[in-house]
Amino acid sequence: MEEMNNHDMETMNSHHHDEPVEDAEIKSWKRKTYLSWLFAIPIAILMLSERIFGMNLIPENYLVPFLLVLAFPVVFIFGFQTIKSGMRGLFTFYFNMDSLIALGTVVAYLTGIFSYFGFVSDYSGVSAMIMAFFTTGKYVESIARGRASQEIRKLLELGAKNARIIRNKKEIEIPIQEIKIGDIMIIKPGEKIPTDGIIVKGASSVDESMITGESLPVDKKIKDNVIGATINQDGILYVKAMKIGKDTFLSHIIELVENAQGTKVPIQKLADKITSIFVPSILVIAILSIVGWFYFTKDLSKSLGVGISVLVIACPCALGLATPTALMVGSGMGAKRGILIRKGEAIQTMKEIKIVVFDKTGTITKGKPEVKEFYIPKKVKENYFWEIAASMERLSEHSIAKAVVQHANLKKYKEVKDFKVLRGRGLEGTMGRKKVLIGNSTLMNENKISLTSFENIIEKFESQGFTTMIVSENKVALGIIGIADAVKEDSKEAISRLNEEGYRTIMITGDNERTARTIAKEVGISDIIANVLPEDKVKKVEHLQKEGMVAFVGDGINDAPALKQSNVGIAMGTGTDIAIESGDLVLAKGSLIGVVQAINLSKKTFKKIKQNLFWAFAYNTLAIPLAIAGLLHPVVAEIAMALSSITVVTNANLLRRARI
């Protein structure tokens, strides 16, 4: 509903804080459904045996009291919130799906009491059946809506729990909440940095991929800033705490996610608009039917029976099932293909998408550096070159070093002495009597190693966006290695298909423009947005939304706010938990072909939802005149109502035949 039902609000208010709201709602409707049918099934057996087969399973004098007793808990206990919400809607003139259910069940139940006065037939059993069908529909709907996002809690869990600090010249460990601005924190290799600060001693590389989305660790030295929750790699850092609590970068990201939440259009809006007109119309028709029949027949029992039939046949149970059943089938189809639909709203908005924005690292690319190219002059033996390079690099923790070792794939390594990591430049060490240096041009120039014969190769590698490393021995350059984040095998195909179907594709990245253009060109994207800070991704998405509906595809924590801000957030299942929790759709396989499939699945699922809404109302449109004409007994009306629900469910299951 566009406005939340009162019982939905009460469910939210009463749930346990550690339990998602939707989980509590699912459990609530599940319990109501099971208990309702526990009483409704005996009622159905009694009604069918007596009214269709003419068999009285219990004495006729006791039948009505027995039905009243059985129906009471179904209508007034398990259906209490529905009755309360529906009746309030009638008095406040905000008509919702509960209004017809509430009026139909209460009037039907009261006929059981009035039947003792002899002027009306008993329909009390029908009231329980209506409510049982309704609670079943709500249970199915609550499952389809899925579980609540817990992204904020997941973000909070990313931070370090404790911090090692120096106080009174002693090293102590304290909870992160007790850190004060100015405290000196000690972060050892492999540990999370507790909070934002500035390095006062030491040097290391820091994995900031959780925040920036960039796969390569960033070299850090004295006076460099570091971010809380990022991971120290290979050196001990002494960091002065500069920001704590709500002022930290992580807290800022959390705030962005919170702000971007709740901006999407509820999928039920279409149904609600129809219902807001449909429900009061049915109420007027039901009242006019009762008055008209009583005026012409003077038979109150028949008049009430017609009125109840109108209310029951118009009961929007099928309408309640129309959306969730199609969503459940669509979700199942998607799950088999690794497409997880987390938010039903995405099905409604996906068909309007005009722009698809891709994060680069971990989305278009693998997020893992690889040796892309290398150049070794003929005078140098290739095996010898890789022996030297890998023997040195295996002593480093840097992800670039790991890429070299993996590419060399040696069984045996040379012994390295006097090994040193030269922060921001490379590595040095000795093998036997030979001094070996591996690193960038700066390191080579510092050691006066000539690169004259390699200048064209270095320029070529750098123009392709590679991280370029020169291997030298005794002041002679032996060769060059070009390392880059590799594009996923199917990224090019997926983006090509999107381009062909008329979508505007854009790549967004924190990388420099040269590297970004290289990757974009490789996969067929012409529009790029480079050098983007995490908090600016949201602004870029907002700006693009002025041109049309935007889908954002990402995998890192820094993508979470943009995933939320976009009209449809598509998260890579190979990414961080927070990105997955922020996505409306999740691609479990981490393949961009899934984006194309997700769009097709969404379009077909939404088409099926529209068909279901049509069938839900088609039954009413055809059957309401019959009910007004007095040709539908309330029990028959109830069966017709059930059939409309079955039709909707069957139609939803036909979605399985669709090709995506």
Report d(CA 386, CA 389) in Å as an integer: 5
Relative orientation angle of helices 124-145 and 300-313, to the nearest 10 degrees? 10
Is 8 designated active site? Answer: no
Q: Which residues, in sequence order, are CB contacts of 453 under 8 Å at separation 6+?
A: 377, 477
Q: Is the dihedral of CA 180, 182, 183, 187 positive or negative?
A: positive
Question: In this structure, what token pair is assigned to residue 228?
Answer: 């809380």
Q: Which of 126, 34, 133 is nearest to 310 (CA)?
A: 126
Strands 184-187 and 197-201: unpaired
8 A C-beta contact, residue 523 and residue 372: no
Strands, E assignment, 385-475: 417-422, 426-431, 434-439, 467-473
Report d(CA 551, CA 573) in Å as an integer: 16
Q: What angle do CA 43, 11, 126 make, to 5 degrees?
A: 15
The pair phi, psi for residue 415, each rounded to 5°, is -80, 135
Report d(CA 400, CA 370) in Å as an integer: 8
Classify 353 as helix, strand or coil: strand
Question: What is the number of H-type helices and E-type strands within the chain?
Answer: 24, 22
Relative orientation angle of helices 124-145 and 60-72, to the nearest 10 degrees? 30
Amino acid at site 44: A
Report d(CA 95, CA 422) in Å as an integer: 72
Question: In this structure, what token pair is assigned to residue 206?
Answer: 């820091």
Report d(CA 408, CA 479) in Å as an integer: 14
**Which residue among the candidates 122, 183, 359, 555 is catalytic per the annotation?**
359
Distances in whole angstroms, Cα of residue 350 to Cα of each of 270, 500, 596 = 15, 17, 11
Active site residues: 359
